[in-house]
Amino acid sequence: MKSNPRPRKRRFLIFVLVLAAGGATAWFGWYKFFRQVEPTPIASDEEWFKHGSLGSESQFGIPYWIWVVLPRIFPDLMPGTGGYKSFGVVWEPGSELPVGFTKKTVGFPRVGNNCALCHVTTYRLKEEENPVVVLGAPAHSFNVQAMFRFFSQAANDPRFNANTLLSEINQNYDLGLCDRLLYRFAIIPFTRRAFIQQGQQLAWMDRPGKPDWGPGRDDAFNLPKYFLAHLPEDHSVGQCDFASAWNLQVRKGTNLFLNWGGESPSVYTVLVDSSVGVGARPTRDFEPNMKRLDGFLSRLQPPHWPYPNGPYAIKADLAATGKALYQQQCASCHEPGQPQCNHPVPIKEIGTDRERFDSWTPEASRKTNRAINEGMGAHRPDTIKNVGYLASPLDGLWLRAPYLHNGSVPNLRALLQPPEQRPQTFYRGGDLYDPANVGFVSSGPAAERGGFLLDTRQRGNGNQGHTYGTALPAGEKEALLEYLKTL
């Protein structure tokens, strides 16, 4: 019997139509969710450092329009007025996003982060003056923990729903019917789930007995320990200051280390691990980005002491006396090129709070090394468990307050006091400068306003140890302090 050719033809036609529809759906899905639009190249290194994408948007990007409206829907969940500014980010006038925030279209416009989030700061010499923005300085006012908490609390709040978010977005921008549907049925629910999940993954930071990080700090080595090495939660606390990231030229050389606990054996390791930390992954742009960061941060110089004249100008004679003291008592550990500089001092010898040091283990090193090198294919010299805290160069020291790895000493004058005379509590987070004590204003109304009370009696916040220079006679301390301002 001859088979009827017509049904076969029809089946073929249906097959082609299904394939075409499938292809169109796949293309639509790719276009709306994954299509990467390369941002306009940013020629200036400074501008690129502040807002350039490292590729974090694919992993951790927040849909731009959701990012825009969240502070308006949840002002009650923010630490203060002013939207994202209340987390202490640097937001320059006329700029669409705060410093450290990036925007890139991956299917839809998303907001990501880069290094500047924690490595750009501001200072003011007078309360009423405009803040001066400094690249590469520790972002001592920025409270990353408060920002993490905000996103997870918002996502767990019943107001985080498509109706509320879309009606707020609609007041700013017409998404169009198609995108509105995508936001309603995909982007908003996905984002909510991602925030909730991130909150659950960060639950360890809110356990009883773990002090708040507060502004200018995070638990730098517990983050990769749990997120990348997937180690079970332990009881460690490792809150520590954001470091300065300028002048990396003096951090390079064989067998020199970085990070507070000397865990990283090369600048390249820090660049790769920090990029992975913000959500960048080794794709096509990764190496060029590492190279650009390396070039920029190696050249970037810290700013000079900001009082060229007047009562706080550096007194050259006094500073010269101080320099001799520094050479005798400090240089062997802190001067680049000297034997102990960029090397850790054994924990017992340095005597500072050991919690941050103990938060990292050989196993955490092994597992994160594997996750980054083998899992992601970013080959960099491995991190290790070292023996104590790092003696780093003191460049730009005046702008690196509060001092020590955990930011437990408000200013340099206090650091030159014996530990029992250093302030037991003080406020941190404000950007008003205190030239007499060499640090930020850390007590009184200006410091209290929006400041974070750091209590050195809490776990991981101890202000003991590092007693170098504390036994000098008062006049010599004054001279040493004068010299330290010049660094």
Interface ranges with ligand HEC (CB under 6 A): 113-115, 117-119, 144, 218, 220-221, 240, 242-243, 245, 248, 258-260, 270-271, 274-275, 278, 293, 329-330, 332-334, 340, 345, 350, 352, 389-392, 394, 397, 400, 403-405, 415, 466, 468-469, 484
Going by C-alpha positions, the residue among 381, 124, 337, 100 that lies closest to residue 242 is 100
Tell me the residue type at 291.
K
Instruction: Work out the widest C-alpha separation in the chain, in whole angstroms.
Output: 114
How far apart are CB 470 and ligand HEC at their closest, in Å? 8
Nearer to ligand HEC, 403 or 427 (CB): 403
Q: Which of 43, 18, 53, 38 is nearest to 281 (CA)?
A: 53
Nearer to ligand HEC, 42 or 162 (CB): 42
Nearer to ligand HEC, 107 or 322 (CB): 322
Q: Give me the phi and psi of 32, to 5 degrees please.
A: -85, -20
* Token representation of residue 318: 């006094």
Distance CA 182, CA 32 (A): 9
d(CA 52, CA 312) in angstroms, rounded, equals 37
Q: Which two tokens stand for residue 311?
A: 């009562």
- Distance of closest approach, residue 123 Cβ to ligand HEC, in angstroms: 15
Q: Which of these, 359, 346, 352, 358, lies nearest to 456 by C-alpha position?
A: 352
Nearer Cβ to ligand HEC (64/357): 357
Shortest spacing between CB 177 and ligand HEC, in angstroms = 37
CB 423 within 8 A of CB 454: no
Find the shortest distance in angstroms from Cβ 342 to ligand HEC.
Answer: 8
- Least separation in angstroms between residue 126's CB and ligand HEC is 25
Cβ(122)–Cβ(431) below 8 Å = yes
> Which CB sits closer to ligand HEC, 161 or 417?
417
Question: What distance in Å separates the CA atoms of residue 26 and residue 18, rounded to the nearest whole number?
Answer: 12
Q: Least distance in Å: CB of 33 to ligand HEC?
A: 25
Whether residue 423 contacts residue 437, with contact meaning beta carbons closer than 8 Å, is answered with: no
Smallest distance, ligand HEC to C-beta of residue 174, A: 34
Residue whose CB is less far from ligand HEC, 84 or 221: 221
Nearer to ligand HEC, 108 or 398 (CB): 398
